Amino acid sequence: MSAIAVHIDPARIIDEVDPRIYSGFTEHMGRCIYGGLYDPGNAHGLADSTTGFRLDVLDALKELRMPLVRYPGGNFVSSYRWQDGIGPRELRPRRPELAWLTEESNQFGTDEFISWCRTLGTEPFICLNMGTGTLEDALAWVEYCNSSSNTHYANLRRKYGHDEPYDVKYWALGNEMWGPWQVGQMQAKDYAKKAFQWAKALRLLDPSIKLIGCGETGYSDWDRVTLKKLAPVVDFHSIHRKVPSYRAIAAAAEKGLEITRSLIDLAKIEHDLSKELTVAFDEWNVWDPVRAPGEKGAEEHYDLSDALAVASWLNVFVRKADIVKIACIAQSVNVISPIITSPTGLFRQTTYFPLHLFSTLMRGKSLSVHVTTPSPETVYNGPTVPAFIRNLDTHTPDSAKLTKFIDVSAVLASAPEQGGSVSGENGNTELRIAILNRSDTHSFDVSLLFGPAVSVRDQVRVHEVWSANLGDANGFGDEKVQTVVRDATFTGAYSVKKHSFQSMCSFIYTRGRG
C-alpha cells in the first residue's frame, strides 16, 4: 500500500484557534450536578465543607482548561424557573422536572454556579428558558447577574450576599427549540420572531452581553430561517450534534459548518452587515440514548472508539478555526461525560485523554492541512452517520472525501522554554500535529510534508492514546486507556496504528534561509 501524504505549510494560516472551543457544559440532568460536581456532606471528605463542591472533580476539570461552562441546560432549561434556585436553601421550592421526568430540589442554582465557575477558573455561559419562560423572566435573570443599579433583582442579589455584579457575558436564546422533545417547541419563523424581540430587550438592559441564537445541525432549514432573521442581533449561531458511534461524525460536523458558513455569509449580505458572526457548537459528543437513556441519567461508559470520536470532533473544530469560536462538550461530569464519579472517587473515561491533549497542546494558529488518499483502503466506504455523508462522497474525488481514515489537524504555537514558561517573539515555535486513524483494521505509513523553506527538527515528542482493542474502556482503579508520552526521531514518515489517536506530535521549525 502506498504511503499517505499529509501536506502542511506553516505559512498557510486559517485563523487563531479560539480557546473557547474547549469549553464545557453542566445540566441539571442525572448526576451531573447532584452527586457530581456538587456533593455536600460527602461521607468520604471529597467535597468542600463550605460550598459542597467536589474537590476531585474540580481538580480533574482544571486540567482540561475549559474557558466557558454552559448552564443550566440543555432540555432542562425549557421548564426551569431560575428564581427557584436563589436565596436561602431551606426556602427553595422542590419542582417537577419535565425534561428528564425527575424532581428538581433547586439546592444548586445561579449563585452556586457562579461560585463554582470562579473556583474552577472558568467563565459562565447561561442559557435562557424560552419554553415556559417569559421575556420578563429573562430580563430579570440578566439584571440579577449583571446589574449594578438600585433595582429589584440587583438588590435581591445583594440581599443574598453578592454585592458585585457577576458580569455574565454569554447568554443563549433558548435550547433546541426546534425539537419535539422540547417544552415550548416552535416553528423556525416563530422562534426567530420571538428571539429577535428578546435580543432587542436584553441588549437595552445590558449592551455588553453576547447572544447565541438557537440553531440546529448547521444543514437544516431551521438554520437558514433563523439566521436570516437573527443575524443583525446575535453574535453566535449555535449548532448541536451528538451521534451514537464514531463513524464519520467528523464528516457530518464539517459539512454542517461549511453550510453554516455560507448561510451566515448570505444573511450578512442580505442585511448589509460587517459584524462578526460565528458558530457556537455548544453541544457535541458521542451519545447512544438507547444504551444510556436520558431519563436514567445518560451515564455512558466510553471505550477507545469513543475516544477516537472525540479526537475526530476536535480535529474539525481546529480545522474550522475561522468559523467555530465556541464549542462545549456535552456534558462535563457523569452525564455522557469524560469524568465518572462515585461517593469515594472518580475515574477519567477514555474520552478525557484526547480532550486533555487538544486543550493543552492544540492552541495557536490553525494551519491548512491536505491528506492524500493513494489507494481505496485509505477511505472508509461503509455506512455513515448520518447517511448523507456517504451519498455526498459517492461522486467526490478521493482526495476531497470527508471519510478518509487518516484525519489530521495542525497548529503553529509558541514553544515552552526551559522551566516551563512560554517563549516570546524571539523564542521557538512548534508545529503541533494531531493525527487520528479511524480504521479498525489498517495501520498506515504517513509521510509528513512541509512547505517551502521550512526546517523541521528530527527530535519530536509524541503523545499517544491507543489500546489493543477498540472496545477497551476505563473504570474505577483501572484507567486502561490513557495518554502515553515518548520522544521519537522524525525521519519524514510516521507509522500510525490502527484505531488510534496515534500521536500529538510537536515539531520545532524555523524558516530556512536563502
Is 113 within 8 Å of 72 (Cβ atoms)? yes
Q: Which residues neighbour 346 within 8 Å (Cβ) at sequence distance 6 or greater?
A: 54, 56, 57, 60, 339, 340
Q: What is the dihedral of CA 487, 489, 493, 495, to 10 degrees?
A: -40
CB atoms within 10 A of CB 19: 15
Do residues 253 and 389 make contact, with C-beta atoms less than 8 angstroms apart?
A: no
Instruction: Give one DSSP letter per residue of 158-195, joined into a string.
Output: HHTT--S-----EEES-S-TT-TTSTT---HHHHHHHH
The distance of Cα 417 from the centroid of its chain, to the nearest Å, equals 29
Residue 304 grid cell: 477507545
* DSSP 8-state class, residue 17: P
Q: Give the C-alpha separation, 318 to 314, whole Å.
A: 6
Residue type at position 419: G
Amino acid of residue 393: D
Element (H, E) at 373: none
**123-127, strands of its sheet edge to edge:** 24-25, 68-71, 123-127, 170-172, 210-213, 236-243, 278-286, 324-329
Q: Tell me the C-alpha distance between 22 and 46, whole Å.
A: 26
Q: Which of 112, 143, 176, 216 is catalytic?
A: 176
CA distance 458 to 456: 6
How far apart are the C-alpha atoms of 170 and 68, rounded to whole Å? Answer: 9
What's the rounded Cα separation, in Å, for the pair 292 and 199?
A: 36
Instruction: Check: CB of residue 500 under 8 Å from CB of residue 464.
Output: yes
The phi and psi torsions of 237 (rounded to 5 degrees) equal -115, 120
Q: Where are the beta strands (DSSP E) in 43-177?
A: 68-71, 95-97, 102-104, 123-127, 170-172
425 is catalytic: no
283 is catalytic: yes
φ/ψ bin of 176: left (φ > 0), alpha (ψ from -120 to 50), beta (otherwise): left
- List the one residue out of 432, 310, 431, 444 whose CA is nearest residue 371: 444
Options 104, 283, 430, 464, the catalytic residue: 283
Rg, the chain, Cα only: 23
Residues designated as active site: 176, 283
